[in-house]
C-alpha cells in the first residue's frame, strides 16, 4: 500500500469526521415538533397512563391530546453523538453505524405511527365510556342530593323543575319566594294586564260573535295557574249573551306567604298567608276575571249584536257532605252595554265596580258559598 492510499484513507476519515461534527451540530437545534413529541411521551409515561385514564375522564382527555401528537420523521443527525477529538480514525465506522440506525428508525417509524393511531382510537372509545360512567355517577349523586333537599320542604310543596334542580336549599328558598311574589303580583293586576291585550282584539261579524267571544276569552293572557274554560250562549231574539265561566279555585292563591330555611334543623318552614289576605286576594281574582270577561265580550261585539251580557262564574268542587262533585256559582252579574261603556276599568276597584253593577257575589268564595246564577 503506497502513500497515496494512506492519504486517501486519511482524507475519507477526515471527511467522515467533519460530517459527524456537522450532523451533531444540527442535532443540537432540536425541532419544535420533536420537542413536543418527546414531551408528550414523557407525559404519557408518567402522568396520563392507561390505568389512570380508566378512572378519570379528565386524565383520559389529556391522554387523547398527547396521543394526537405524531412522532416526527427520524433525522440522521438524531443518531450521531458528539465526535471525540481523538476518534478521527473511527469516524467512517461511526458514520456508518449512525446511518444504519437511522435507516432502521425510518423503517419502523410507520409501524410506531400505526400503533399510535390505534392507541388513539382505543383511547377515544375509552374516553366516551369513562365520560358516560362519570356522567351517570354525577347524575345519581345530584339526584340523591335533590331528593334530600326535597325532603327538607314541608309536605305537599311541589317545586318547579328549575327550582328543584338548584344546588342548595337556600337558593331554592330564595327562588321559591320570588316565584310566590311574582304570582301574587300577576294575580293582583290580571285585569289591567288583560285590558292591555284587549286593545288588540278585533270586532267580529254578528254571525261569528259566539265563536269569537269563546275564542278570545279562552286565549286571554292570564297567570299560568289559571286555565280559562267557559260556555257561551247567545239569543238573537233577546240580544243577550250568557257566559258561564269556570273560575279557578282558591288554591290559585299561594297559601304560603314565604318560606325560610332553618339551617340548624335542616328544614324549610312555611309562613302561612293570613286568612284575611287569602280571602281578599281570591275575591279580587274572581272579580277581575268577571270584569275582564264582560269587557272582552262587549269589545268583540262593538254594540251591534247584543245589549246585555250575563256572567255566571262557577267552580267545580266536591260537596263535603256527600263527597260528590258539585257546581257552585260564586258570582253572577247582568251588565248592559250602555252602563258598561261608561266605566273606566283602568282605575276601578273590581269589587266596588261589581257592586255598582248589582252583581251577586258569594259571601265567602273560599268556602264556595253559592249565589243563585242568573238565567236569560
**pTM (two decimals):** 0.69
Residue 132 confidence class, pLDDT cut points 50, 70, 90: very high
Phi-psi region of 158 (alpha: psi -120 to 50; beta: other; left: phi over 0): beta
- Separation of alpha carbons 44 and 120, rounded Å: 12
Phi, psi at 267, each rounded to 5°: -145, 155
Q: By the 8 A CB rule, do 20 and 95 touch? A: yes
**Which of 189-193, 221-225, 301-305, 366-370 shows the lowest mean pLDDT across its residues?**
301-305
Q: By the 8 A CB rule, do 289 and 230 touch? A: no
Write out pLDDT tens, residues 292-347.
999 999 988 876 778 899 999 999 888 777 888 888 999 999 999 999 999 999 88
The helix, strand and coil proportions of the chain, stated in percent and rounded to the nearest 5, come to 60, 15, 30
Total Cβ atoms within 10 A of residue 326: 14
pLDDT of residue 300: 86
Phi, psi at 363, each rounded to 5°: -70, -25
Residue 4 confidence class, pLDDT cut points 50, 70, 90: very low
Which whole-number Å values give the CA distances from 295 to 9, 270, 301, 347, in the listed order? 116, 38, 10, 14
Domain ranges of the chain: 3-143, 161-367
| β-strand pairing of 308-318 with 240-246 | parallel
Write out pLDDT tens, residues 49-69.
999 999 999 999 999 999 999
pLDDT over 80 at 191, yes or no = yes
Phi, psi at 315, each rounded to 5°: -130, 145
- Separation of alpha carbons 123 and 119, rounded Å: 6
Average pLDDT on 184-206 reads: 84
Amino acid at each position: 500500500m503506497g502513500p497515496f492510499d494512506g492519504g486517501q484513507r486519511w482524507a475519507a476519515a477526515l471527511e467522515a469526521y467533519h460530517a459527524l461534527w456537522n450532523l451533531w451540530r444540527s442535532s443540537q437545534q432540536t425541532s419544535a415538533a420533536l420537542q413536543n413529541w418527546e414531551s408528550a411521551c414523557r407525559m404519557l409515561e408518567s402522568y396520563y397512563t392507561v390505568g389512570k385514564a380508566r378512572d378519570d375522564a379528565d386524565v383520559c382527555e389529556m391522554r387523547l391530546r398527547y396521543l394526537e401528537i405524531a412522532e416526527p420523521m427520524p433525522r440522521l443527525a438524531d443518531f450521531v453523538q458528539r465526535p471525540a477529538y481523538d476518534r478521527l480514525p473511527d469516524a467512517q465506522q461511526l458514520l456508518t453505524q449512525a446511518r444504519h440506525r437511522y435507516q432502521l428508525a425510518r423503517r419502523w417509524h410507520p409501524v410506531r405511527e400505526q400503533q399510535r393511531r390505534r392507541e388513539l382510537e382505543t383511547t377515544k372509545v375509552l374516553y366516551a365510556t369513562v365520560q358516560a360512567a362519570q356522567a351517570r355517577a354525577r347524575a345519581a349523586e345530584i339526584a340523591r342530593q335533590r331528593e334530600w333537599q326535597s325532603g327538607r320542604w314541608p309536605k305537599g310543596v311541589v317545586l318547579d323543575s328549575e327550582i328543584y334542580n338548584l344546588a342548595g336549599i337556600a337558593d331554592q328558598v330564595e327562588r321559591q319566594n320570588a316565584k310566590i311574589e311574582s304570582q301574587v303580583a300577576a294575580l293582583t293586576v290580571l285585569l289591567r294586564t288583560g285590558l292591555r291585550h284587549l286593545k288588540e282584539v278585533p270586532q267580529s261579524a254578528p254571525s261569528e260573535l259566539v265563536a269569537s267571544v269563546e275564542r278570545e276569552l279562552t286565549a286571554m293572557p292570564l297567570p299560568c295557574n289559571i286555565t280559562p274554560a267557559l260556555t257561551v250562549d247567545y239569543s238573537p231574539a233577546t240580544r243577550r249573551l250568557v257566559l258561564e265561566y269556570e273560575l279557578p279555585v282558591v288554591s290559585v292563591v299561594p297559601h304560603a306567604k314565604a318560606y325560610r330555611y332553618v339551617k340548624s334543623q335542616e328544614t324549610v318552614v312555611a309562613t302561612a298567608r293570613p286568612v284575611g289576605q287569602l280571602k281578599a286576594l281570591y275575591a279580587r281574582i274572581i272579580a277581575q276575571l268577571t270584569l275582564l270577561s264582560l269587557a272582552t265580550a262587549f269589545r268583540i261585539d262593538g254594540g251591534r249584536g247584543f245589549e246585555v251580557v250575563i256572567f255566571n262564574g262557577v267552580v267545580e268542587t266536591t260537596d263535603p257532605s256527600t263527597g260528590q262533585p258539585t257546581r257552585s256559582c260564586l258570582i253572577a252579574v247582568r251588565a248592559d252595554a250602555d252602563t258598561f261603556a261608561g266605566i273606566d276599568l283602568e282605575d276601578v276597584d273590581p269589587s266596588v265596580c261589581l257592586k255598582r253593577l248589582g252583581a251577586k257575589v258569594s259571601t265567602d268564595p273560599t268556602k264556595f258559598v253559592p249565589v243563585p246564577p242568573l238565567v236569560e
